[in-house]
Structure 1
Amino acid sequence: MAKRERRTFTDEFKQQMVQLYENGKSRADILREYDLSASAFDRWVKQSRTTGSFTENDNRTDEQNELLQLRKENQRLKMENDILKQAALIFGRK
């Protein structure tokens, strides 16, 4: 089976697909007619219902946002630690 090329869809297209579904068109018909993957379509429906946005940033949970923030902070602290180690080596030579 050949690997399918990744496609991108506009927010307007996603909203139209969700609207078709909410207006009564069957999920199977939409997937077949527009050659969509079930997982992508289901994600669009869920995003539309929860936040009304198809942007990943708008659809993150509080835990996901906290994890991203903590990862950034951890990376910053590692960098600061590396800088301090280098400074200690430099000043230790003098």
Structure 2
Amino acid sequence: MTRRERRSFSKDFKEQVVQLHLAGKPRVEIIREYDLTPSTFDKWARQHHSSGSFQEKDNRSPEETELIQLRKENQRLMMEVDILKQAALIMGRK
């Protein structure tokens, strides 16, 4: 089985595809006509329904946003600890 090259779609294209579906065109027909995967189409429809945006950051739950923020803070704190450990080693030598 050969892998397909990853394609990218513009926001306008995604909007048009979702609007076609909302206008009554069958899902299967849209997927076949535009050579989309069902999961891609379903994701676009879900994103449009929930937030009206196709950007990942606009479709995150508050928990996901908080988790990302906490992971960044944790990484920053771990770097600070590493710097302090290095400073303590340097100061201990003198």
TM-score (norm. length: structure 2): 0.98
Please list every run of 5 or more consecutive structure 1 residues that lacks an aligned counterpart in the other structure: none
2:49 matched to which residue of 1? Answer: 49
Paired residues in the alignment total 94
1:75 matched to which residue of 2? Answer: 75
Write out aligned runs for 1:24-63 (5 A).
24-63=24-63
1:90 matched to which residue of 2? Answer: 90
1:76 Cα offset (Å): 0.2
Q: Secondary structure at the match of 1:36?
A: coil
1:66 Cα offset (Å): 0.8
1:5 Cα offset (Å): 1.0
Deviations 1:36-63 (A, max 9, x none): 0111100100110111000000001111
1:74 Cα offset (Å): 0.7
Give the CA RMSD over aligned residues.
0.6
